[in-house]
Amino acid sequence: MIYALLATPLVTGLVSALVPWRRWVPLLGVASLLGVLAVALVLAHDALHSPARALHGSLAVDPLSALMLLVIGAVGLLAAIGGVRYLDLQLARAQCSTRQASLYAALVQGFIAAMLLTVLARNIAIMWVAVEATTIVTTFLVGHRRTRGAIEASWKYIIICSVGIALAFLGTILLYVASSHTGGPASLDWATLVREAPQMNHAVVRLAFSLIVLGYGTKVGLAPLHSWLPDAHSQAPAPVSALMSGVLLAVAFYAIVRCRSIAVSALGSDFVRTTLLISGLATLVVAVSMLLAQRDYKRMLAYSSMEHMGLLCLGAAAGTPLAFAAVLLHMIGHGLAKGVLFLGAGEILELEGTSEIAQVRGLLARRPALGGLFALGLAALLGLPPFSVFASELGLVRSLSAAGLTWVAGLALAALALVMVGMSAPAATMLLGPGTGRATSPRLVRAPLGAALGVLALVGVVAWPLSLLIHAGATVAAQ
Amino acid sequence: MKVSYVTPLDLAVVVVIVTAALTLWRQSLVASLRALSLQGVGLGVVAMVLGAHRRDPVLVFVGVLVLLIKGAAIPRLISRVVARDHPGREGSPLINIPASLVGAGLLTLLAFGATRGLVALIATPAARLIPFGVATTLIGFFAMVVRRRAVSQIVGLLTIDNGIALTAFLATSGVPLVVELGVSLDVLLAVAVLRVLAGHLHRQFNIQDLDQLRDLHD
């Protein structure tokens, strides 16, 4: 099963790259993601009873990675459908050659495969290799439109993320060094490291964990190495923004969660908690203040991604199973909501020709379907019931105060309130107001977004069928 | 301490750190690429010497691989960019050359201070050289901050990477081969991507100096 999971996007990617451009190439991509999602569902079901393993245990699916697989599959499917529309438009206007369209299709599959490998790998150095591979693959995707802004964004993206991720590699090496001085064999296997951690040298683990948070934090969009994020997310094609914001950030965050278990097992929770609190709060401050000043809706969504990653970081700082259950639910909710919003924003940009908030007016009157979906997506993102973000934000705040971090819970609530105000005003500008002429978007755009919102509401109301998996995953994460 | 392996090891490590400083010193891009190439060779020799000493054929193989990739393949990839698009010199760095070299010296001292605990923990003749690995990394960061040409930034990034690889070789008996292969592949691909991007920046938009990249801001 695990081999099938990895092979699906890899083979699809190779076919897309090698076969001359045909109209079915993007549809093949959609089929591939359907396959990934289906296999992920089976693996998630199995993970509750007996984790699947492959390659002598170097790839494995426990409940935590199963949950990540589902997020990758679901948001990936959304983005693959969005990709069909994006390539159609680009080719129709001759803004990209068929060669570039094939490259786009192939790279998206490579991107998915790299993220799958990140969450499947047991070896934390292989996990690092996979995260770095996502950077390389997405750089071309960010710059796919070949405008000056897009090329600038991809340059900044690869330079800043490569530097950041290099720090995470140094951290990983230091954990390896620490493990080789515990008496046991030197290892990079996650479970072995957690087991050996109590014998590790504290100073080395402290240094390693700081480097890992700073390094992977660059990819997560945590302050201070976040400056690539708003540029890349606003310049990339909409489906790529959806994937990067909805899943890639969460996948990088997953890497921090895995390394956190090792650090907690070695040092106890104090140092780890302080480190994560500092990064989470710093990120929230940067994100909220920049978000309030935004005039561009795609950049506003990008800063909102940072805000949500900051919240996840605070949840990880609390570190209880309850907190991680909220963190995992929040990852799912944020991934789907951001997928919907970036695809919706891409469509708005396509139809209105501007990404400035002030230039877009009366969307609900003029384009009721698209405007309505965008409005519901915003409601989901801002944590209004019945969507699942409501439940997960509530859970996060509660678990923070239960973990003795009431002041942090207060700050998080204040940030949420500010964001609510800060995003409602521009949303009102864009959505409300009079408008003439009614235009509809193709069903290809509306249907998947509507379905994603439906899933969000379903998960928000009954938590079925994910609750078992979330609790099992949270237990693994909180180890 | 056996002289037979410690002396060549010391020499190779000195080559790495001196070439890192050279990339800060020389303004000619061709010269800094030559320094980078020599740095890759030094790094490969470090791995080979350690491999020979520990009778570890895999590590010797990794050394050969590093020498080929970082000493030859990567500098050659970048030199095409220099030859085609970016002839000449680093314009005016944010900090002048003597001050940069003093900065590099201070960073080396900082590296010695920061790694005392690590060196004491490992306590092998190779481990006492770890500060140089960390110093190379820090000098790479420094170069990325003060240099403005696309090629200089790529060189800085690779210096960081070489510094981390040097630290890894000195601190452990080398990471498992599969990890080393994955890391090398990533670096090679990243340089290939950077090369393409540098070409776009120059040819499509005529950007020489990265300070011209200011279209995107809040």
Q: Which residues of B touch A207 (CB under 8 A)?
A: 118
d(CA A257, CA A249): 12
Residue type, B151: V
Q: Which residues of B touch A357 (CB under 8 A)?
A: none
Q: Which of residues 113-132 of A touch B (CB under 8 A)?
A: 123, 125-126, 128-129, 132
Are the beta carbons of A239 and A247 closer than 8 angstroms?
no
pLDDT in tens, A258-306: 999 999 999 999 999 999 999 999 999 999 999 998 999 999 999 999 9
Q: Which of residues 192-211 of A touch B (CB under 8 A)?
A: 201, 203-204, 207
Q: Looking at residues A402-428, what average pLDDT do you find?
A: 94
Residue A182's Cβ-side half-sphere holds a number of Cα atoms within 13 Å equal to 25
Instruction: Pick the closest to residue A345 from A332, A357, A335 (CA basis).
Output: A357
Phi and psi dihedrals of B89, rounded to 5?
A: -125, 160
Residue type, B97: I
pLDDT in tens, A216-267: 999 999 989 999 999 999 999 999 999 999 999 999 999 999 999 999 999 9
d(CA A242, CA A249): 11
Dihedral Cα B121, B122, B128, B129, nearest 10 deg: -120
Predicted confidence band at B85 (pLDDT cuts at 50, 70, 90)?
low
B104 touching chain A per CB within 8 A: no
Locate the domains of chain A by residue range. 2-477
Average pLDDT, chain B: 87
Q: For residue A345, give both structure tokens.
A: 């924003």
Q: What is the DSSP string of A154-165?
A: HHHHHHHHHHHH
A269-292 vs A297-318: helix axis angle to the nearest 10?
Answer: 160
Q: Looking at residues A132-140, what average pLDDT do you find?
A: 94
Q: Which residues of A touch B173 (CB under 8 A)?
A: 180, 186
B113 touching chain A per CB within 8 A: no
Are the beta carbons of B159 and B138 closer than 8 angstroms?
no
A63-92 vs A98-120: helix axis angle to the nearest 10?
Answer: 170
CA-based nearest distance A55→chain B, Å: 13
pLDDT at A478 over 80: yes
- Other residues' Cβ atoms within 10 Å of the Cβ of residue B7: 12
B15 touching chain A per CB within 8 A: no
Choosing among A122, A126, A170, which should be mutated to test the B contact, i.e. which has the most B CBs within 10 A? A170
B176 touching chain A per CB within 8 A: yes
Dihedral Cα A48, A49, A55, A59, nearest 10 deg: 20
pLDDT in tens, A177-230: 999 888 878 889 999 999 999 999 999 999 999 999 999 999 999 989 999 999
Q: How confident is the model at residue B1, as a pLDDT?
A: 46
pLDDT in tens, A36-81: 999 999 999 999 888 788 888 889 999 999 999 999 999 999 999 9
pLDDT in tens, A146-171: 888 999 999 999 999 999 999 999 99
Locate the domains of chain B by residue range. 3-173
A292 touching chain B per CB within 8 A: no
Beta bridge partners of A53: A60
d(CA B163, CA B158): 8
* Residues listed for chain B: 218
Q: Which residues of B touch A151 (CB under 8 A)?
A: 197, 200-201, 204-205
Choose among A129, A156, A230: nearest Cβ to B186: A129
Calculate what percentage of chain A has a pLDDT beyond 70: 99
CA-based nearest distance B207→chain A, Å: 10
Are the beta carbons of A283 and A309 closer than 8 angstroms?
yes
Residue type, A237: P
A140 touching chain B per CB within 8 A: yes
A426 touching chain B per CB within 8 A: no
Q: Looking at residues A361-377, what average pLDDT do you find?
A: 91
Choose among B182, B216, B218: nearest Cβ to A293: B218
Predicted confidence band at B86 (pLDDT cuts at 50, 70, 90)?
low
B135 touching chain A per CB within 8 A: no
Instruction: Pick the closest to residue A474 from A285, A260, A329 (CA basis).
Output: A329
d(CA A67, CA A63): 6
Q: What is the largest CA-CA distance in chain A?
A: 75
Q: Do B176 and A293 touch (CB under 8 A)?
A: no
Q: Which residues of A touch B150 (CB under 8 A)?
A: 155
- What pTM value is reported for the model? 0.95
- Other residues' Cβ atoms within 10 Å of the Cβ of residue A88: 15
Residue A69 CB partners (closer than 8 Å, separation 6+): A5, A36, A40, A43, A44, A61, A116, A119, A120
Q: Which of A405-409, B116-120, B181-185 has the highest mean pLDDT?
A: A405-409
d(CA A370, CA A442): 10
Q: Which residues of A touch B137 (CB under 8 A)?
A: 166, 170
d(CA A385, CA A460): 7
d(CA A299, CA A234): 5
Choose among B161, B179, B210: nearest Cβ to A129: B179
For residue B28, what is the DSSP state?
A: B
Q: Do A294 and B150 touch (CB under 8 A)?
A: no
Instruction: Pick the closest to residue B169 from B160, B159, B180, B158 (CA basis).
Output: B180
Instruction: Pick the closest to residue A197 from A267, A266, A122, A270 (CA basis).
Output: A266
Q: How confident is the model at residue B175, as a pLDDT?
A: 79
Choose among A132, A153, A173: nearest Cβ to B216: A153
Beta bridge partners of A360: none
Residue A99's Cβ-side half-sphere holds a number of Cα atoms within 13 Å equal to 0
Range in A271-275, A353-357, A462-466, B140-144 the model is least confident about: A462-466
